[in-house]
Amino acid sequence: MKRFVTVLIVGFGVMALLFFHPQSIDLPKLGTVKEWTLTEVRGEDPSVLEKPKLVTFFYTNCPDICPTTMFDLKDLQQLMKEKGVSEDQYLIVSVTVDPTYDSKERIIQYKNALDISSTNWLFLRGSEEKTKKFTKYFNFYYDKNQDGFLTHSTTMYMVDSHDQIRARHDMSIGGKKVNIKEVADHLQQLIEVSR
């Protein structure tokens, strides 16, 4: 009986440690971003991508998931600031999946409308061909029908400073917000590893 109680206590202790310190769990390697061929709309140097980053896909005409996710990611930035993590330690990278419609000017208007001005939040676009190739690194699905209606996956991706995809996170869907606490924990873990 004593042994059973000891095993039970140790088991609960390990579970509590994992629950309260999820950043201590090593994130798996889920794939690699082989090259960053898309262009940042402000003309940022691609070398800035050598930081831990959250990669999300969007299009400016998206009526719901994309803008609500953007608002949640603004909350993520605030949470990171509260945790003492400066914006120069990580990136948020938003990639348009509708580059034909989403011109550089239209994306800049979109950013301004959402009041996104942080220098660590990059917006990328490229040709249709380059965009398709880039989304394949993530197994991210999107499709535009003949009427111009676009459907897409609802996943975001954590990428380390060596371009390894390390985690997946859900975008804001319906009433379910982005789990910014979990995203922040993963970003902090990748920042620690990259030091």
| Tens of pLDDT, residues 125-143 | 999 999 999 989 998 888 8
pLDDT at residue 170 tops 90: no
Confidence at residue 48, expressed as pLDDT on a 0 to 100 scale:
64
Q: Which residues face 164 on adjacent strands?
A: 32
Confidence at residue 127, expressed as pLDDT on a 0 to 100 scale:
92
Residue 173 is classified by DSSP as B
The span from the CA of 68 to the CA of 3, in Å, is: 51
Confidence at residue 5, expressed as pLDDT on a 0 to 100 scale:
44
pLDDT by residue (tens digit) across 50-72? 889 999 999 998 888 888 899 99
pLDDT at residue 122 tops 90: yes
pLDDT at residue 13 tops 70: no
pTM above 0.85, yes or no: no
The span from the CA of 59 to the CA of 124, in Å, is: 11
pLDDT by residue (tens digit) across 138-160? 988 888 877 777 777 888 999 98
Confidence at residue 14, expressed as pLDDT on a 0 to 100 scale:
43
Q: 14 and 25 in contact (C-beta within 8 Å)?
A: no
Confidence at residue 18, expressed as pLDDT on a 0 to 100 scale:
44
Q: Which amino acid is at 114?
A: L
pLDDT at residue 106 tops 90: yes
Q: 134 and 95 in contact (C-beta within 8 Å)?
A: yes
Token pair 């398709």: residue: 132
pLDDT by residue (tens digit) across 28-49? 677 677 878 888 888 776 666 7
The span from the CA of 49 to the CA of 127, in Å, is: 19
CA-based end-to-end distance of the chain: 47
pLDDT at residue 16 tops 60: no
Instruction: Please determine, looking at this structure, whether the domain spanning 27-194 carries the CATH number 3.60.20.10.
Output: no
* Residue 31, SS3 per DSSP: strand
Angle made by CA atoms 78, 80, 84, in degrees to the nearest 5: 115
pLDDT at residue 100 tops 60: yes
Q: Could you state, in order of their start, the residue ranges of all structural domains in the chain?
A: 27-194
pLDDT at residue 24 tops 50: no
The span from the CA of 36 to the CA of 84, in Å, is: 29
Confidence at residue 173, expressed as pLDDT on a 0 to 100 scale:
83
Q: Would you call 67 exposed, middle or buried from its count of C-beta atoms within 10 A (0-12, 13-18, 19+)?
A: middle
